[in-house]
Structure 1
Amino acid sequence: MDVLSDVLAVQRTGRPRSMLLGWDAPWAQEFAEVPGAMGFQVVLHGSPWLLPPGGAAPVRLSAGDVVFRPHGRAHALADRADAVPAPCTADPGPALLARPRPQVVTLCGAYEIDPAQVHPLVHDLPEVVHLSPTEELRAAVGLLTAELERPRLGTDAVVPALLEMLLLYLLRRWYAEQPAAPTGWAAALRDPVTAAALHAMHADPGHPWTVATLAAHAGLSRAPFARRFRALVGRPPLAYLTWWRMTVAARLLRDSDATVATVARRVGYGSEFAFATAFRRRHGSAPGRYRRLT
């Protein structure tokens, strides 16, 4: 399990959603903030303007461009850079096929994430990410658009799978394009030593890792490894491991029927009492109470 795939699998809740939207001039649509969601818009046809939040300069978009909102913040699209947006009232999906194609058509999607478990890999992303199309993004968008335009047998299973693939492509593309930096998650994932340790922890969070065994796995001696990991990731190796174990445990308690003792073992605790103490420290309640409340 690579780090990015694991982070998204543990953070995600609910079912991803997608639809087609279309507009004819004059138009200006505001997309409200959605806490606990990651959203995107792909321009399929036309050249709308992106009106970013906070008064940032408008950006002209072209067919194939992607607007990705990692934190669900508000933004707007319009036919003019100086337009005043109104709440979104665009027609979804099949309505686009019942009339001539609108001047602007976008594919939008949203992913629900647990706001209490946001990984720094996602937390550190900017408010709005503007990406130009790539071959893999075009392929995923084309498949998803076809399913939405013409639902068939299996569409209800295909669409969520395509949305998950598209999200991975978006994040992979953004991280690949980041300039070299001395610290941060882009640097941590590029660094072979830190990346090896992260992959090991995510592949088997229940393993009895120590700084020494992680350093050996990453091919470096203990002290240099610990300094390097903390400098790039922002916390010591075992502090990150404990945080991730408690994040995984919360997902298991919420989404599975596993007993507390089973969850404790899966995240590396031989003692249910020790697990409950660590879980309460991270989440503010005992594992059993957390399960009942969520």
Structure 2
Amino acid sequence: MDALADLLAGVRARSAAFCRSVLEPPWALRIADGARLALVTVTRGHAWLVPDEDREPEVGGEPGVVRPLRIDEGQVAVIKGPAPHIVADEVDTPPSVVVGPGNRLTTVDGADLTEEFRRTWAGRESPDSSVLVTGTYSVTGDVGARLLAALPDAALVRAADIASPVLDLLIAELDDPGPGQQAVLDRLLDLALVETVRTWLGGQRGDAPGWFRAQGDPVVGEALRLIHDEPGAPWTVAALAARTGVSRAAFARRFAVLVGTPPMSYLADWRMTVAADLLRGTDDTADTIARTVGYANAFAFSAAFKRHRGVSPRAHRIGDR
């Protein structure tokens, strides 16, 4: 498995909050559902993605640092949460509907609008309508957090640049539902995220994360696949160099240049990321997890985890429950 596949494996649609909305101007929705990641595609008209005035600033940043982003017909945006944001026909249109957890819709004063919205805002299209298809994802654990760290607040691509017809399949399924629709939508939504993120990263060229750019290198890409496939193997610089067919010095230099970190540092970080998710997501013992991520016993693993994360494996596991 490559590095991107591993990160995307931590992101899944489960009973996805997924809908197709027909919106007549003026319209504006305040999205406050707490989703860590959402996908929005415009199939008619346009939409503005506007930072919410209550958005918390980034560390070292300022409120409102993210500029409004226009999403045109035929474009797809992956939006990073969980901070609220506004989707509107124009930048200055005030929101009249709030989208909360579970796709519950209310007025800004809290009155429930869910059924009314479904009757009146998801109806027939007019020449002035904007049509949005949206879905949200569950992102859990440290592996999912690594993916979020690689994305901007909103990643925008053209649907035409996505090689897969997945968006057409999504829209077709919404228009003509059949048995098992929820499972179909969940799987299509997973694929839509994979294709959109891959397309966006591929268009970043030199600005993409080092691990993504390096996947196309015959030497470093192979080393990354080995590390991700077998994080518990007794890897050394010499062993990885031998498997990729270059000298130890050439491998270490090439890996550091392309990925941006030495191979053993990358390996240690990935092992601790995998271990952190195993601690929180399974009941495996520390000894079992230690062997899974390449440590001889629980004592050696515990020392490495505390050095890397600042807390013991036990404290990490208890603190997340």
Question: TM-score normalised to the size of structure 2?
Answer: 0.77
2:80 matched to 1:54?
no
1:137-189, Cα deviation, whole Å (9 max, x unpaired): 67212322344445443223222221111111011101222234697344323
Secondary structure at 2:65's aligned position in 1?
Answer: helix
Output the CA distance in 2 between the equivalents of 1:13 and 1:280.
29
Match of 1:80? 90
2:42 matched to 1:43?
yes
Identity of aligned pairs, percent? 37
Match of 1:235? 261
1:200-250, Cα deviation, whole Å (9 max, x unpaired): 100111111001111222332112221222233232111111111111112
Which of 279, 291, 294 aligns to 2:317? It is 291
Match of 1:200? 226
Change (3 A) 1:239 1:119: farther
Matched-pair contact (CA < 8 Å) for 1:66–1:131: yes
Match of 2:109? none
Matched-pair contact (CA < 8 Å) for 1:183–1:231: no
Output the CA distance in 2 between the equivalents of 1:14 and 1:184.
27
Match of 2:111? none
Output the CA distance in 2 between the equivalents of 1:38 and 1:2.
21
Secondary structure at 1:205's aligned position in 2?
Answer: coil
Gaps of 5+ in 2: 52-63, 100-104, 106-113
Secondary structure at 1:209's aligned position in 2?
Answer: coil
1:63-90, Cα deviation, whole Å (9 max, x unpaired): x211112455554332234434455356
Matched-pair contact (CA < 8 Å) for 1:73–1:127: no
Question: TM-score normalised to the size of structure 1?
Answer: 0.83
Which of 190, 196, 200 aligns to 1:164? It is 190
Matched-pair contact (CA < 8 Å) for 1:21–1:96: no
Matched-pair contact (CA < 8 Å) for 1:276–1:286: yes
AA aligned to 1:272 is A
Gaps of 5+ in 1: none
Secondary structure at 1:134's aligned position in 2?
Answer: helix
Change (3 A) 1:58 1:244: closer
Match of 1:27? 27
Match of 1:66? 76
Secondary structure at 1:206's aligned position in 2?
Answer: coil
Q: How many residues are matched?
A: 291
Output the CA distance in 1 between the equivalents of 2:81 and 2:274.
21
Secondary structure at 2:190's aligned position in 1?
Answer: helix
Moved more, 273-282 or 112-121: 112-121
**1:1-294 → structure 2 map (5 Å cutoff):** 1-9=1-9, 11-12=10-11, 15=14, 16-32=16-32, 34=34, 37-51=36-50, 54=65, 56=67, 58-59=69-70, 61-62=72-73, 64-70=74-80, 72=82, 74-86=84-96, 88-89=98-99, 95=119, 99-101=123-125, 103-114=129-140, 116-117=142-143, 120=146, 122-134=148-160, 136=162, 139-180=165-206, 184-294=210-320
Task: Give 1 or 2: higher helix fraction.
Answer: 1
Output the CA distance in 2 between the equivalents of 1:232 and 1:120.
18
